[in-house]
Amino acid sequence: MSQVVFDERMVAATRSFSPSSRKPGLVMQDWLQHWPSLNVVAPRMVARKHLAQAHDPEYVDGVLDCSIPNGFGNTDPDVARSLPWTVGAMVTAAVLALRETTTYCAPVSGFHHAYWSRGGGYCTFNGLMVAALHVLKQNLADQVFILDCDFHYGDGTEDILQHVQPGQGPVHRLTRRIHHFTAGEHFGRGASSAEFLGWVGDAMFSIKRHPADMRRKLVLYQAGADQHVDDPLGGLLTTGELQRRDNIVFRYINAYGIPCAWNLAGGYQQEPDGSIPKVLEIHRNTMNESLSA
């Protein structure tokens, strides 16, 4: 059973090839039409010091003060205003999932290409790493598993994991308890969708098999819509195969009672009028699997 962390402060209306800054609002509108009784809770915003767990503090200040470009390559104050809320939604989803041993969705995107000290690829701050470090630091979880099923390699996540290494203080001990599975490392254009789905199953099996208490594990599942075969920046899977991907993940989550926070990530199929019905369909299918798997 998925619940959603959302309010309007997570939305920004910047002009970009990527619809990700306005997507939380569009997705919520679509979901509430399909599931009017969906449980929606408000996010808590993250402070600069929380962002600085995973990022260079100078980068954090520069982006939020609009003196360093965000991941969209601009210094739009509306994007800067929204960022503590989009990352905050992911952190809130992670905390609530662990406290309640359940699944929460943060309908946000734009995390995994954010490096320690720079953004890119429509990603500014790495909400996956901020959330992972936060729940470990707060001793809410013993192990965090980032399952990144976006089409692209989670290079920013990997950079931050590499950055906080020995000599960097206590954070390094935490990163040993963060396990990073990123599909983009293994599967490029033309790869086999069957092998991809096998990889997802293997990842979930290894998460289940990890000896930590199920309720002290956290899966951060990034359900990227650019994994669709028709995506201009993707992808491998048909609509049905994407549903299969989500079904594999949520069947494990639900069967073994593993706390899970999931988010949206990429998806670039856009109509000439700027609407994104195909992307919304993919995200709706993920929510459907989360509710029914």
Residues near Zn ion, by CB under 5 A: 150-152, 226, 266
Q: Given the complex with Zn ion, which of 144 and 149 has the nearer CB atom?
A: 149
Question: Please, what is the minimum distance in Å from the beta carbon of residue 109 to Zn ion?
Answer: 9
| Least distance in angstroms from the C-beta of 42 to Zn ion | 27
CB of 224 to Zn ion, least distance (A): 5
Nearest CA to 131 out of 24, 263, 4, 286 is that of: 263
CB-nearer residue toward Zn ion: 76 or 150: 150
Nearer to Zn ion, 64 or 268 (CB): 268
Task: Quickly tell me which residue has 């459907």 as its tokens.
Answer: 288
Q: Considering beta carbons, is residue 43 or 235 the nearer one to Zn ion? A: 235
Q: List beta partners, residue 181.
A: 147
Q: Smallest distance, Å, CB 184 to Zn ion?
A: 7
Closest approach, Cβ 265 to Zn ion, in A, equals 6
CB 10 within 8 A of CB 23: no
As a whole number of angstroms, the distance between CA 174 and CA 136 comes to 7
Nearer to Zn ion, 30 or 226 (CB): 226
Q: Which residue is nearest to Zn ion (CB)?
A: 266
The answer to whether residues 117 and 55 touch, using CB atoms and an 8 Å cutoff, is yes
Query: Per-residue DSSP letters for 30-79?
Result: HHHHH-TT--EEPPPPPPHHHHTTTS-HHHHHHHHTTSS--TTSS--HHH
Q: End-to-end alpha-carbon separation of the chain, Å?
A: 9
